[in-house]
C-alpha cells in the first residue's frame, strides 16, 4: 500500500512540552512520507480511536518514581480491553536519564498494555533525554520508516 493511503494517530502527554516536541517530529516525519496524521493529547483521546488508524505512536512522559501521566490513566486502563490486531504502533517518549532505572518507564508500561491488544510493535522503544536533539530526530525518522515497513508487509 502506498504510504499516501495510510493514516496515523500520534497521542502524546506533556507537562513542560518535551513530549509534544517529540510528537511534532513524528507528525512531520509521517507527513513527509505522505501519511495522513492526527495529533491528539491523551486526556482528549479515547483509545477506541486507534481502530480507525493503520499506525499509532504513543508519546508519554514519565513522572514520579516511573509513573504514567496522571491524565492518561483512563486511556491506559481502557487500552488493554481493545482488539488492535490490525494496528502497528511505535513508542517514543522524553524522560530524564537522571532517574536511572526509572528512565522513561512509561514507555515500557504502554508497551506491555499494547501487547495485550495484539497490536504489532515497530522498532524499539525510543527513550529521549529531555528535549529531542537532531540525533533524536534521526532516530524518530527511523522509527517512522520501521513502522511504515511493518504496516506495508
Ligand X SMILES: Cc1cc2nc3c(=O)[nH]c(=O)nc-3n(C[C@H](O)[C@H](O)[C@H](O)COP(=O)(O)O)c2cc1C
Q: How far is the CB of 29 from ligand X (least distance, A)?
A: 18
For helices 134-151 and 18-32, what crossing angle results, to 10°?
50
Closer to ligand X by CB, 94 or 117: give it: 94
Least distance CB 1 / ligand X (angstroms): 32
Please, what is the minimum distance in Å from the beta carbon of residue 125 to ligand X?
Answer: 12
Cβ closest to ligand X, residue 64 vs residue 85: 64
Q: Do 103 and 62 touch, CB atoms closer than 8 A?
A: yes
Give whichever of 69 and 90 is closer to ligand X, judged by the CB atom.
69
Q: How many CA atoms lie within 13 A of 135 on its CB side?
A: 5
Alpha-carbon distance of 123 to 111, in angstroms, equals 12
Which residue is nearest to ligand X, using beta carbons? 95
Choice between 63 and 150, CB closer to ligand X: 63
Least distance in angstroms from the C-beta of 151 to ligand X: 26
Residue 49 or 71 with smaller CB distance to ligand X: 71
Per-position b or e across 59-96, b if 16+ CB within 10 A of its CB: bbbbbeebebbeebeebbeebeebebeebbbbbbbbbe
Q: What is the DSSP letter of 3?
A: G
* Least separation in angstroms between CB 133 and ligand X: 13
Q: Which three cell numbers stand for residue 51?
A: 481502530
Residues that bind ligand X (CB under 6 A): 14-19, 61-66, 94-96, 99, 102-104, 130
Amino acid at each position: 500500500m502506498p504510504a499516501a493511503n495510510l493514516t496515523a494517530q500520534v497521542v502524546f502527554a506533556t507537562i513542560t512540552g518535551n513530549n509534544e516536541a517529540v510528537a511534532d517530529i513524528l507528525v512531520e516525519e509521517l507527513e513527509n512520507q505522505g501519511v495522513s496524521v492526527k495529533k491528539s493529547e491523551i486526556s482528549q483521546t479515547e483509545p477506541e480511536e486507534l481502530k480507525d488508524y493503520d499506525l499509532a505512536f504513543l508519546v508519554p512522559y514519565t513522572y514520579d518514581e516511573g509513573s504514567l501521566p496522571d491524565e492518561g490513566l483512563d486511556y491506559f486502563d481502557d487500552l488493554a480491553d481493545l482488539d488492535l490486531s490490525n494496528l502497528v504502533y511505535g513508542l517514543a517518549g522524553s524522560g530524564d536519564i537522571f532517574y536511572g532505572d526509572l528512565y522513561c518507564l512509561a514507555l515500557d508500561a504502554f508497551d506491555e498494555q499494547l501487547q495485550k491488544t495484539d497490536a504489532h510493535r515497530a522498532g524499539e522503544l525510543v527513550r529521549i533525554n529531555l528535549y529531542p536533539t537532531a540525533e533524536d530526530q534521526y532516530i524518530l525518522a527511523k522509527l517512522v520508516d520501521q513502522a511504515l515497513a511493518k504496516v506495508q508487509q
